[in-house]
Amino acid sequence: MIKYLKFGLVFLMAVLTFSLTACSEKVSSLYPGYVDSDNVFEIKTADEINELKSSTDLIYVFYADNDDFTSCETISIVNEQAKQFNVDVIYYLDAKEYNVSKEERKNLQTLLGINDASFLPSLFVLSNNQVLFDLSRKSVREDYLNDEDSSVNYQRVCGYIFRELPSLN
């Protein structure tokens, strides 16, 4: 009996270890060549993020699609900036799950309180059931555009949300 109990505990520990490792490496498998397994991203569903947003901590969300070129280029910038500013975790929300139909995008917008679930890639900062930063909002995005080509300067965005926003909260 004890032999089976020991086997069961060892098996359970192996499964938990594998599960935790698989979760932390999943973003790197979605973006090979852009982020390695030592990244700050943790994949969450919209429902899981919705549960977290009541926290008084800042909840960082990167909303992207690995089939989108700009998402691929941006994830490495966000990862490096987060490490530079000692951000432990950014929740990765896979846009493929929510960007299928207008109704699904609207549901996501309502659930998280964000403006435009069709804008990719996007960054959101949530805390106390409020959206403190929403890059999908055009008026916010305009503050972070590059002069040359009107694309979003994600390094400037990260500088604000990782360095300045925490001191304002």
Give 41's pLDDT tier (boundaries 50, 70, 90): very high
Outline where DSSP puts E strands in the chain. 41-43, 59-64, 90-94, 122-127, 130-134
Distance, in Å, from the CA atom of 52 to the CA atom of 50, rounded to the nearest integer, reads: 5
Rg (the chain; Cα; Å): 18
Residue 107's contacts (CB-CB under 8 Å, 6 or more residues apart) are 98
pLDDT at 97 over 60: yes
pLDDT at 9 over 80: no
Q: What does the pLDDT read at residue 81?
A: 97
pLDDT at 126 over 50: yes
pLDDT, average across residues 23-28: 65
What's the whole-model pTM score? 0.83
Q: How many domains does the chain have?
A: 1
pLDDT, average across residues 111-121: 95
Give 1's pLDDT tier (boundaries 50, 70, 90): low
Q: What does the pLDDT read at residue 119?
A: 94
* CATH label of the domain that carries residue 146: 3.40.30.10
- Residue 41: give the domain boundaries: 2-168
pLDDT at 99 over 90: no
C-alpha dihedral over 80, 81, 83, 85, to 10 degrees? 160
